[in-house]
Amino acid sequence: MTTHDLLTGTPSVVTAGAALFPDALRTQGVEVTEVTWAPPTAGTSGHLARVLADPRRVEANRLAAERMLAAGAHLVDVRPASEALGLERGQFLHAGPPVTWENASGPLRGALIGAVLFEGLAADADEAERLLASGSFSWEPCHHRGAVGPMAGVVSPSMWVFELVDPADGRTAWCSLNEGLGKVLRYGAYNEEVVTRLRWMADVLGPVLQAGVRRARSRGAELDMLAIVGQMIQMGDEGHNRNRAGTLMLMRDLLPDVIESGVDPTRLAEVVRFVGGNDHFFLNLVMPVCKLVTSAAAGIEGSSVVTVMARNGTEFGIQTSGTGDRWFTGPAQTPNGLFLGDYGPDDANPDIGDSAITETAGIGGFVMAAAPAIVRIVGGEVGDALTATRSMYEITTTENPRFGVPILDFRGAPTAIDVTSVIGSGVLPQINTGMAGRVPGTGQVGAGLVTPPMECFVGALEALADAAPPLG
């Protein structure tokens, strides 16, 4: 463009920073494109430069994204965690990075107490708490065994789990069965109602679902859960806090085989009523789908793609492709949102759960634009959902066409979070989530929006920089 063109033509301006300047230009009829920009996170410039200069990074991130887009997820079984995950009596799994009893949050403590009672390892809650505090039992993250768990994420040997397989390479992921809403174990409740429901799930729900899945498999049917996730996003679900369409499609696909398996009609009716009355039931299938998608990208040297985001109610932790199973943590943040009944911010525990695996895979809070009704649950307006989704393209390396966002002309979901983009832009991943009560036994108190602490990404960046080849 020449000086003459600049002075005589119609200007098109790109702005960054305060809104005052672009607003003033628009009032004068000037076309303005606003971009989000911020200086890199303080104290990270040296590490950021080293990671960006890593000659392996571009190809490693391309490979990580390629593998995420190629991943599949078929439901192949439903069975007890003792069989599927090798859990023995007195062993438990939980959400998020590792945590001790002393540092465990209220909801996690409550869920562990409930699991001990469910397994018959204590006579009452007081005894369960004493045994847990004394070190009589052991627990570790679900992710350490290739599993995921919503909210507290506690899994015990007698609980049943969904088993999903990526048909491309045989990788497997697991998740517990969804209990419904209200006072449930995953929110830290552990009264008799909670334990009784868990026993029914082990005695009735798990075996009935198993019969249907095995019947489908015996006739050669493929229960493609990834395909359902793609469809539900185009039907108004985002896969984290809204799973209504996904739950109904699961029932559509599985119910004929459950009926043909010959299960007791009374038990079948109980299961159909339970699943049909629980819009969140499919969340516990979305999560292992996303675990398979993200774990496909794991273990690539030089890659700065995030493969895990998880919270235990005390800390938020991430893992990256290039740093293996190492956790990078920071303090979990308390979500901002809407509260149930008389609950308020003082009642809410900091963020908890493995369900941020949905955002790690590119859905959930990353595709809120596909589910505008979600803003009624987590607070905000429809425009906020659009803004949230658009901003996530700034910190990801690719788009997943299987998760097309209708309102964005079916643009693929923003996928493969890049640590360097988070650090460089200051934009943090957007997560929508439920809120558990801070006090053990309370249950759910609300739902809202939250982001990880920047410390997680700073720690990962430093580790990636340390692992980078020497400059020059």
The DSSP H or E segment spanning 417 is strand 411-417
Mark whether 264 and 137 lie in a shared domain: yes
Structure tokens belonging to residue 279: 């819009």
Residue type, 382: V
Report the 10 Å Cβ neighbour count for 104. Answer: 22
Residue 316 CA to residue 136 CA, distance in Å, equals: 26
Residue 399 CA to residue 415 CA, distance in Å, equals: 5
Query: What pLDDT is recorded for position 17?
Result: 54
Task: Find out whether 423 and 458 touch, Cβ atoms under 8 Å.
Answer: yes
Residue 113 CA to residue 245 CA, distance in Å, equals: 33
Helical spans, DSSP H, in 204-327 = 206-218, 225-233, 244-260, 265-276, 283-295
Residue 313 CA to residue 467 CA, distance in Å, equals: 30
Q: What one-character-per-residue DSSP string does 376-416 give?
A: HHHSS-HHHHHHHHHHHGGGEEEEEEEEEEGGGTTEEEEEE
Per-residue confidence in pLDDT tens, the chain, 472 aa: 455 554 566 666 665 555 556 666 666 666 766 555 556 676 778 999 999 999 999 999 999 999 999 999 999 999 999 999 999 999 999 999 999 999 999 999 999 999 999 999 999 999 999 999 999 999 999 999 999 999 999 999 999 999 999 998 999 999 999 999 888 999 999 999 999 999 999 999 999 999 999 999 999 999 999 999 999 999 999 999 999 999 999 999 999 999 999 999 999 999 999 999 999 999 999 999 999 999 999 999 999 999 999 999 999 999 999 999 999 999 999 999 889 989 999 999 999 999 999 999 999 999 999 998 887 777 777 888 899 999 999 999 999 999 999 999 999 999 999 999 999 999 999 999 999 999 998 889 999 999 999 999 999 999 999 999 987 6
Residue with tokens 């066409």: 401
> Do the domain assignments include residue 472?
no
> Do the domain assignments include residue 154?
yes
CATH assignment at residue 104: 3.90.1710.10
> Do the domain assignments include residue 318?
yes
Query: What pLDDT is recorded for position 299?
Result: 97
pTM above 0.85, yes or no: yes
Q: CA angle, corner 423, sides to 418 and 425, nearest 5?
A: 95
Range of the domain at 11: 3-35
Query: What pLDDT is recorded for position 322?
Result: 98
CA distances from residue 135 to 118, 124, 331 in whole angstroms, order as listed: 18, 17, 24
Task: Find out whether 240 and 283 touch, Cβ atoms under 8 Å.
Answer: yes
Mark whether 297 and 232 lie in a shared domain: no
Mark whether 148 and 207 lie in a shared domain: yes
Task: Find out whether 371 and 238 touch, Cβ atoms under 8 Å.
Answer: yes
Mark whether 194 and 115 lie in a shared domain: yes
Residue 235 makes CB contacts below 8 A (sequence gap 6+) with 245
**Of 188, 161, 171, 146, residue with least CA distance to 72:** 171
> Do the domain assignments include residue 26?
yes
Mark whether 121 and 62 lie in a shared domain: no
Task: Find out whether 365 and 430 touch, Cβ atoms under 8 Å.
Answer: yes
Residue 342 CA to residue 328 CA, distance in Å, equals: 35
Mark whether 255 and 213 lie in a shared domain: yes
The domain tally of the chain equals 3
> Do the domain assignments include residue 95?
yes
Mark whether 260 and 315 lie in a shared domain: no
Mark whether 362 and 319 lie in a shared domain: yes
Mark whether 322 and 455 lie in a shared domain: yes
Residue with tokens 């009704």: 373
Mark whether 242 and 347 lie in a shared domain: no
Residue 360 CA to residue 257 CA, distance in Å, equals: 32
Mark whether 52 and 172 lie in a shared domain: no
Q: What 3-state class would DSSP assign to 297? A: coil
> Do the domain assignments include residue 40?
no
Structure tokens belonging to residue 40: 């890199």
Q: What 8-state DSSP symbol labels residue 418?
A: B
Mark whether 330 and 430 lie in a shared domain: yes
Residue with tokens 């989000």: 36
Q: What 3-state class would DSSP assign to 433? A: strand
CATH assignment at residue 307: 3.90.1700.10
Burial class of residue 413 (count of CB atoms within 10 Å of its CB; 0-12, 13-18, 19+): buried
Query: What pLDDT is recorded for position 48?
Result: 96
Query: What pLDDT is recorded for position 63?
Result: 98
> Do the domain assignments include residue 127?
yes
> Do the domain assignments include residue 426?
yes
The end-to-end CA distance of the chain, in Å, is 38
Final residue of a structural domain among 262, 287, 312: 287
